[in-house]
Each structure stands twice: as structure tokens, then as C-alpha cells.
Amino acid sequence: MPNAYISGTGFYVPPRVVTNDNLVADYGIETSNEWIVKRTGIEARRFAEEGVGTADLAYEASVQALERAGLTIADIDMIVFATLSPDYAFPGSGVLLQRKFNVAELDPPKFIPALDVRNQCSGFLYGLATAASMVQAGGCKHVLLVGAETHSAALDLSTTGRTVSSLFGDGAGAVVVSATDEDRGLRTWTLGADGRHAEELCQKVWDIKKRPFMNVDADGNGVVPPEDMWAHMNGRLVFKNAVQWMIVSLWKVCEEQGIGPKDIDLLVCHQANMRINQYVQQQLGLPDEKVVHNIDRYGNTTAATIPILLAEAERDGKLKPGMKVALVGFGSGFTWGAAILDW
């Protein structure tokens, strides 16, 4: 059975920088830079312009990942696309990304299968487990795995929505998961979920149990009440469960590999809240030089945070071949996961 390793990384964030002060000045949100930084560690985020969607961001990151892997889209056997903010309700963004590569125009045409993963902040880890399993089973040689988000179109950018809207930004990260006979790559992973808390971090928009699935006015227009249109979060419960399950998951994958936290060369946490990640770091006893962050610059890009971090760390020389890397994340559902890789 071949090993599965990450052969290429890439990321893309929109050029528009929105600082905490911009939230006040441009959107009239009653908050402050000090308030947001103290509670989240976020100083700025990126917002895509109108007309730019999730698949557009994903394409830019994917081109970079393919280039760094020394591959072309013709080498890819499957696309796995993780996102909270798909371009449409359906179809999934995976096929939209595939279309951007014009694979039907290749000689010969290659109709790459596309799979969408809807596990929000844990989406990349769920996608990594899926992609690696495909590779290890021999079904694929190269899988393009993407996490991409366009949050800015669906945020309540007002004082009412500030506790959620101040957290999120737009961006995309991509990796190529490839087969190898070398002794490297993904060593182990764990995933988990607790659906009892599904509505504690959610954005309903509609309810498919209703007939019709959303309210309709006299003219036949859909009407979405604010409590369904905007994201809802029970912050204290999310924080408590996040630190619990991120630590439990990390210990589990370390024990499966017969290693301890001190053996980890680089910890890559999902970037939801700097305070959560600092608590996890402290519990594991890891020094600052073994942990990477970018939440201060990009905010929470959900499924994109981990692959963006990997691409940045590799670009900046913080992630090097031979390193033992731990990945961990937690998000809506509640869902969580962790993985150990030998880079």
C-alpha cells in the first residue's frame, strides 16, 4: 500500500484588507481594534470583491499547489473541495473548480470526479482523511484537496452581528495529496463529531422540513428572517468544546504514533481564535517556535485556515522536509479532527 503525502501547497487571499478599524469606519460597527484583538487575536481579514466566488479563490490556490507539486491538472485523479460557503446551494463548488481548468478541452478530455465536503472548520481535515484514503487504497495517484471560503457575502456587518462578523475572512488554501513509496506522509488521523450541539454554531438560511423550505411573500419572493440568515454562535460553549476536543484529538494521534508533544516539530491549528490555540499550545507544553499562526492577518477562513498555514509555512521556510507535523481543528457540527504527518 502506498503512503500518501502532500506534494504541493498553495494559497490565495483577496487583495482587499479589512482591518478592525475599517469595520468601524466603513461599516459603522460599534466595536474597537482593542476589543477584537483582546478576545480573538484578529487584527485584519481579507474580503473578496463582489463578483468573486469561492471557486474563484480556490482556483488561484490550486494553480499554485499544482505548480509546487510539479504537476498539471491532467495528473489529478480527484478533486476534494471543503467549504462552508459554496457558490450555490447546489451543485457543489468542486465541479465549478473543475470547470475552471477546462479539463473537457484536454487531449484526451479528463472528466475529473469532484467531491464536496461540508464540515466547515474541520472540512480540510475530513478532506485530508478522504484524499489520503483514496491514495492509500490505490484508487487515485494524485488528489487536489482545497479549502476555500467567501464569508464576506454572508456576514451581518452591523453592530448586531459584530461578535460573529468580526471573526471571519475570505481565502483559499490547496494541497496535492500524492502517492509515494517513500517512508513519509500522513501517518495517522482521527475525526469526531457531536451532533447534540449542531445548532450552537450554525447558519440555517432555510429549513428543508418546511413546505416551502423558506418563507414566501405575496409576490413569491423568498423571505429569510435574520435569525436564519446570519450565523449564530454560542461562543462560550464553542470555546469549551474546542479546547477539549482539540487536545483530546492531538493526544490520540500522538499516542497512536508512540510519540509525545515534545516530538512535534510544528503544530498547525485551525485559526478560529488565538485564545483557543494558545490554550491548546500551553496544555501541550509547546514553545512558540513550534506553532504557526496567521489569524491576526486573515481572521477565520474556516476550511481554508490549515492549508493556507501550510502553504505559508512552507514558503517561509518554517515547514521543512523531515519535520513531524501535527494538524488539528474544530468547528460547527460540532466536528473535529487531528492528523500527524512526516513532511
- Interval 98-121: pLDDT, tens: 999 999 999 999 999 999 999 999
Pairing of strands 78-82, 142-149: parallel
Q: Residue 170: CB partners within 8 Å, gap ≥ 6?
A: 13, 14, 45, 46, 47, 48, 57, 149, 150, 151, 152, 301
**Positive or negative torsion for Cα 236, 129, 54, 295:** positive
Looking at residue 249, which CATH number applies to its domain?
3.40.47.10
Q: Do residues 161 and 27 touch, judged by C-beta distance below 8 A?
A: no
In a domain, 131, yes or no: yes
Note whether 135 and 192 are same-domain residues.
no
Note whether 167 and 240 are same-domain residues.
no
Note whether 160 and 241 are same-domain residues.
no
> CA-CA distance, 3 to 181, in Å (whole number)?
6
Radius of gyration for the chain, computed over Cα atoms and rounded to the nearest angstrom: 20
Predicted structure pTM score: 0.96
- Which residue among 119, 140, 151, 270 is the active-site one? 270
What does the pLDDT look like over 264-291, one tens digit per residue?
999 999 999 999 999 999 999 999 999 9
Share of the chain above pLDDT 90, in %: 99
Give 220's Cβ-side CA count (13 Å radius): 0
pLDDT at 186 exceeding the cut of 90: yes
Note whether 193 and 156 are same-domain residues.
no
Range 68-77 average pLDDT: 98
Range 165-189 average pLDDT: 97
SS3 readout for 18-81: EEHHHHHHHHCCCCCHHHHHHHHCCCEEECCCCCCCHHHHHHHHHHHHHHHHCCCHHHCCEEEE
Note whether 175 and 282 are same-domain residues.
no
Note whether 190 and 103 are same-domain residues.
no
Give 170's Cβ-side CA count (13 Å radius): 28
Note whether 169 and 248 are same-domain residues.
no
Residue 71: predicted pLDDT:
98
Note whether 192 and 177 are same-domain residues.
no
Residue 286: predicted pLDDT:
95
Note whether 37 and 108 are same-domain residues.
yes
Note whether 165 and 86 are same-domain residues.
yes
What does the pLDDT look like over 137-154, one tens digit per residue?
999 999 999 999 999 999
How many C-beta atoms lie closer than 10 Å to residue 206's C-beta?
15
In a domain, 211, yes or no: no
Note whether 7 and 150 are same-domain residues.
yes
Q: What is the mean pLDDT of the chain?
A: 96
pLDDT at 1 exceeding the cut of 90: no
* pLDDT band per the 50, 70, 90 thresholds, residue 75: very high
Cα 257 from chain centre: 25
| 300 belongs to the catalytic site | yes
What does the pLDDT look like over 189-227, one tens digit per residue?
999 999 999 999 999 999 999 999 999 999 999 999 998
How many independent structural domains does the chain possess? 2
Note whether 144 and 194 are same-domain residues.
no
- Which residue among 3, 121, 142, 241 is the active-site one? 121
Residue 200: predicted pLDDT:
95
